[in-house]
Chains A and B, each alone.
Chain A
Amino acid sequence: MTAVATAPTSTTAPASTAETSYPAIERAAIDASARGPVLFFFGNGILWLMLATVLGIIASIQLYSPGFLADVPFLSYGRIWPAFTNTICFGWGSLAGLGVTIWLLARLGRVKVKFPGVLFTGAVFWQVGLTYGILNILGGKTTGLEGLEIPTGSAVLMLLGYLLVAVWALLLFSFRSQTTPFISVWYLVAALFWFPWSFAMAHAAHVLPNVSGVVQNLVAAWATQNFLNIWLTSIALAAAYYLIPKVVNRPVHSYNLAAIGFWSFIIFTGLTGAVRLSGGPIPAWIVTLSIASSIILLVQIVTVTANLVLTMKGQFHMVYHSPTIRFTFFGAIAFTVSSVIGLLASLRSVDRIVHFTQFQNGEMQLVVYSFFSMVIFGAIYYILPRLVGCEWLSSSMISLHFWGAAYGGTLLVVTLLVGGLMTGAVLNDSDNSVFATVMDTSELLNVGRIAAWLLLGVGHLVFGLHFLLMLLRIGQPGGEPTLFAPIGEEAKH
């Protein structure tokens, strides 16, 4: 197995990535045990990403040109949009995230993946439920709750599949032979525990007869916030805390900072959900609690950012060489940007302008795309060579993917945020009474959004193809990772 030697840095053992303290031969055995399920989760996740890209392109065209596909009921905007959000979150986000989670838990816990059949079964259940759910949404059968559109029957199937994977992953955690807790493991265990409870509670709130009225909306907002800001965020931060120290070959700057960041994150993020209903028909104290919690989260934003940046200190040229670092560090910066924007947007004075505009959609894309997806891409670039035994074929393809994703994702977020601010300003000017003119203000930005989705589409196609080549073992011989530029060449950062 040649892949084990690919980490250019595995000769030394940084304290906080102490997983390298055990022999390469054992790492190879663990990778071999994880290969099947992890590849299955990644591969399926990428298929969902492709579908999400197509849906995203269609929806962006429809916002510019309302007549596009409007005569086909199952492709009308009111159905494409929820299909898109569910596909990218539950299809791409959750599956790719779980792939990374399994691999990290095995590697960090120094434990082999046993009975992979449980994981395969879980992934199949999840996807059967999700597919049925998406078809229902396109067919017009949804719960009507934003963020929880998937009908409860499908959601139950997904949850069963998830539980197989999560319980199994937590067993992996409890049987670990490496008992020092790592920062990444804290986040992964939190993610695995939080998601199913939040998801199940939200569906229960919709189904139970005693929960009527706006409590359902509140629970849906809470579950959506938990999904984005705990589930996806935890997995991506776990990956970033693993990958950055690993590739730049030095320990995480401060263990204490990381602990402060983690605990403030896990205690207060769960209280921020009601900002999604700011100004709405719920008691004001609930929103106030969520705004206060958002402000306290500044502690996490600062500590995580400082920790990751200080770990990179002196090694910033690695973004020039290493694909993993380029994607992951981009994602880490996007985490900071998205958290700061989320905090500002939660303030009532800002919320009254941006609420109900595309600004909120921009915040979601920042988390799901610019932060989470970029980190996960970085993780896949790191993990895959270790699983398939060859290195990525072409650094140009990785580069094309990066620029498509970085420019496309950034353009997307900027058009949504700026468009949201512009329409919000007009919407809050009551002299401007004709509603149709409100939307005219962001017309140009709608064009920008289509361009952004096309760029993302190019990036994803290249990435999907490259992934397929790796599955077919078409790549460079193992040994040295595929870099953008050889390390040692003078970095031009």
Chain B
Amino acid sequence: MNRSNYLLTGIVGSFALSLFALVLVPQAQLGGLQPQFQDDEGKVVDIYPIENRGIVAGGRAVYISEGCVYCHSQQVRDEQNGTDIDRGWGTRRTVARDYIFDSPPLLGSSRIGPDLANVGSAKWRNEPADENAEYKPAKRDAAWQLLHLYAPNTIIHNSKMPAYRYLFEKRKISGQRSDDALNVAVEDGYEIVPKPEAKELVGYLLSLDKSHPLKEVKTATPEVAAK
């Protein structure tokens, strides 16, 4: 064997080692993960997580298409690795099982905006309004999310999020005002209504809830979570 054969063997070998350790073994360990079933005397009462369907799947596609992932993560780290739980972004860290139906999971690597792993959870929906903002809705429901997409600054003071006005349309009011028209100032006789993409996106956001207990991870006690 001459020296260049050693070189080629070494290079191929190093790639094989890397592939084995960081791709094949993790896939063998995680590839077969199933949802957690909880049964009560033979009857399944609770399954988590569930597949993304309908409006949730549609909204997920909008989330990907608009590149939300470049500013928002969807993962909660444990107390040793950060203050995510202290900050109220979740009651437990997220684990591989949380993402088995996501292809791909939108974990994100940057937090120019807050983490959204639990943005649809009860805790988030009841988050108090921003005192310094123009509008102060009582709850973070679908109307809040739509308004936030259309004009983030009016509802979160000094928000760094761009306004996604192109997910909405300005329309002449014919007859009655639409049910889903936004509660924002607009010239007389017109209204701002969400396009289907905006509604799907909000449907998806409100579906994001990884607070469901899983047997492999400890959920923080309510006192810690509320801090």
Contacts and interface: CB of A to CB of B under 8 A. Distances in A.
Interface of A: 62-63, 66-67, 70-73, 76-79, 81-82, 140-146, 173, 179, 181, 186, 189-190, 193-194, 197-198, 201, 205-206, 210-220, 222, 226, 263, 266-267, 270-271, 273-274, 276-283, 286, 289-290, 348, 351-352, 355-358, 360-361, 427-430, 433-437, 439-440
Nearest to B157: A436
Nearest to A146: B109
A436 B111 CA distance: 11
Given A66-B162, A279-B82, A430 B21 contact: no
Nearest to A80: B67
Contact of B158 (A145, A428, A440): A440
Contacts of A140: 65-66
A197 B22 contact: no
Contact of B23 (A173, A218, A427, A436): A218
A413 B103 CA distance: 33
Interface in B134-158: 152, 156-158
Contacts of A361: 110
B165 A197 contact: no
Interface stretch (B11-19, B170-178, B179-187, B199-207): B11-19
Q: Which size class do B's interface residues fall under?
A: 35 or more
5 contacts: A81-B70, A144-B64, A212-B31, A214-B107, A279-B82
Given A144-B64, A289-B21, A215 B86 contact: no
A181 B11 CA distance: 14
B67 A280 contact: no
A198 B11 CA distance: 13
B37 interface: no
B75 interface: yes
Contact of A143 (B33, B96, B104): B104
Contacts, number: 221
Nearest to A440: B158
A66 B157 CA distance: 14
A197 B15 contact: yes
> Which of B26, B93, B159, B161 has the most chain A CB atoms closer than 10 A to its own CB?
B26
Given A281-B96, A289-B22, A360-B110, 5 more contacts: A77-B70, A206-B104, A212-B100, A286-B22, A430-B83
B163 A439 contact: no
B31 A211 contact: yes
